Chains A and B, each alone.
Chain A
Amino acid sequence: MLNEYFIRRVLYLVPVLIFISFMSFSLIYIAPGDPAEIMMTSPSGGYDEAAVEAFRIAHGLDQPFYIQYLNWIKNAAVGDFGYSYMSEQSVFETVLNAFENTLKLSVLALAIALVIAIPLGVVSALKHNTIVDDACRFGALLGVSIPNFWQAYLMIIFFSVIIHWLPASGFGHGTDISYMIMPAAVLGTGSAAVMVRMIRSSMLDVMGKEYIQTARGKGLSEKIVIIRHALKNALVPVITVIGLSIGFLLNGSVVVETIFGWSGIGNLVVDSILSHDYMMVQGSVLFVAVIFLLINFFVDLVYVWANPEIRYDKTS
């Protein structure tokens, strides 16, 4: 049963991978300018035809579309995403390096999110339909409605400009945690808002189950019932929340890393777009998509593994 599900899910990955690679590759073709011309254009505006032609040949841009695609995919499959037109650095290495930094930030953000979301979600469910519950639910809605870039600046104004606790932006060699706190907090509070809702509804669901009544009937204290029986079971569906949060964190990284000057993948994509570094944009987008696809795939498997009774609709 699980094997069959596993095989089906793996087979679904194939067309999706082909499609996303094709989409990432085609992006260059929908761009208004010719990369060779853009690269070879001098600041004064003119460009040398011969130099443009040489650049095209050097980068294989003179080949037909499908050949370029096949070459690109063949190289991408072994981790060769080509070289940046700008810095001449390997795209894959740059992307990998940036992704590692994003991962660091995301782990801290996820931890912050869980610390906020689990207690709030549980309290919200236990005080179901009271003012406490309403406040938690409204807080969660507020959390997903605040623009993260705005929240980031409010935090900088408060923590850096007014009370001077934290550096306003920077990377601090990637090890200094004081540079990570604010960006991680912005990302974390946003994800927490999404999580609170899921933990709440999952907890409500579990609290209505028979085994909770049984546990209570046995005369166990309410605290033990909640922590040992309800929360433990309620956290299973929360695994999917982590999958959802990865998407949230990656999306947030674009703006948050740009504001805080954190050298992660979001910052890399924005910088590459602004400097027309097409190879870098293409490589980063494909890399992020593949990682995101695989994370969701594993989250789904873990979820099914933890809930064997879940019947998945065969056609989806």
Chain B
Amino acid sequence: MIKLLKNRQIALSLIILGGLIFMAIFAGVLAPYDYTEKDLQNRLQPPSSNHLFGTDNLGRDILTMVMYGAQASLLVGFAVVSISLAIGVMLGVLAGYYGGWLDEIIMRLTDSFLAFPSMFLALAITAFLGQGMENMMLALIAVEWTVFARVARGSTLDVKTKGYVRASRWIGASNAYVMIKHVLPNIISPVLIMASLGIGNVILAAAGLSFLGLGVQPSTPEWGAMLNAGRTYFTTAPWLMLFPGLFIMITVLAFNYFGDGLRDALDQKMKNIELEGRF
């Protein structure tokens, strides 16, 4: 653990992520204004000492909205990845451990979800379920779980051949015991790496859906929705789009940089797991 923190890349990305999470949690205290506060006298003001990031078309302070926006983006990222991880790891371990027909069914199901380019699947699901944050999260889970299922299955197949796992079964350990005690701890590193890269991907995709008007509604502060609202004014008031976009980029970059550092630090073999450029 301490060795990991000595890695410059990991330490740097953790500091940035810590800052973003801090900003999201304490948005209510840190933000200079109330995000619902409309000031029609001061619409579309460029960045100034009163409004560091300027104001939007309703006179709301953009810095304040960016801070609150971090809540939505990070919440969506963490929630979607945790749920996808739970589903994917469970199915992947079962498939890899038992093999046979169970493996066939789970893997063909995974293939089927992967057959859709992820953005089209997410779009189709949000379109038919209806707009809104919960539906968008469901759509993103449908896209994201397959990554974990594949990684977990691959690692399980690898662990299964190890002597200690065979020995454990030989002395009569139950399957559940072997999976929890031996398989899970050994697949944690690849899964953690994919989770970190996954959060970045999910935040990007969520922002994309909200940008298209199919995710978080414009009334709640969210970076993608802010970009969508700023489209109309992008030539006259580019700061409406500049700052939310910048924060999406910093956040996604920090998660990707962290996952990348983790991959280098944890396992040399893992260098072969390439970034899944899905979004």
> Which residues does A use to contact B, with CB under 8 Å?
12, 15-16, 19-20, 23-24, 27-28, 30-32, 137-138, 140-142, 144-150, 153-154, 156-157, 161, 190-191, 193-194, 197-198, 201, 244-245, 247-248, 250-252, 254-255, 258, 266, 269-270, 273-274, 278, 281-282, 284-285, 288-290, 292-293, 313, 315-316
Interface mask (B223-252 → A, CB under 8 Å = 1, otherwise 0) = 010010001001100100100010011001
Residues of A within 8 A of B181 (CB): none
B120 touches A288 (CB 8 A): yes
Q: A19-B112, A153-B241, A244-B277 are in contact. Are A255 and B211 (CB under 8 A)?
A: yes
Shortest Cβ distance from B246 into A: residue: A150
List of A residues within 8 angstroms of B257 by Cβ: 138, 141
Proximity bits, B174-218, A CB within 8 Å = 1, else 0? 000000000000000000000000001000100110011110000
Q: For B52, list chain A residues within 8 Å (CB).
A: none
We find that the number of chain B residues with CB closer than 8 angstroms to chain A is 55
- Which of B235, B245, B279 makes the CB contact (< 8 A) with A150? B245
- Residues in A with CB closer than 8 Å to B108 are 12, 15-16, 19
Q: Is the interface of A mostly helix, strand, loop or mixed?
A: helix
Identify whether the interface residues of B are mostly helix, strand, loop, or mixed.
Answer: helix
15 further interface pairs, Cβ-Cβ under 8 Å (given A141-B253, A285-B121): A19-B108, A24-B124, A27-B124, A27-B128, A141-B256, A149-B207, A248-B277, A251-B117, A269-B123, A281-B128, A282-B124, A285-B123, A288-B117, A290-B115, A313-B157
Residue of B at shortest CB range from A245?
A: B277
How long is the Cα–Cα vector from A251 to B253 in the complex, in angstroms?
19
Is B164's beta carbon under 8 Å from chain A? no
Report the minimum CB–CB distance from B119 to chain A (whole Å): 4
Interchain CB contact under 8 A, A316 and B107: yes
B37 close to A (CB within 8 Å): no
- Which of B27-35, B60-68, B267-275 interfaces with chain A? B267-275
Contact of B129 among A30, A149, A248, A289 (CB under 8 A): A30
Please report the C-alpha to C-alpha distance between residue A296 and residue B246 in the assembled complex, in whole angstroms.
Answer: 34
CB distance from B241 to the nearest CB of A (A): 6
A157 CA to B240 CA in the complex, in Å? 13
B108, B128, B235, most chain A CB atoms within 10 A: B128
Flag if A251 contacts B279 (CB, 8 Å): yes
Q: Are B120's CB and A147's CB within 8 A?
A: no
Q: Is the CB of B200 within 8 A of A28?
A: no
Rounded to whole Å, the gap between the CB of A280 and the closest CB of chain B is 11
Whole-angstrom CA separation of A290 from B213 in the bound complex: 27
Shortest distance from the beta carbon of B229 to any chain A beta carbon, whole Å: 13
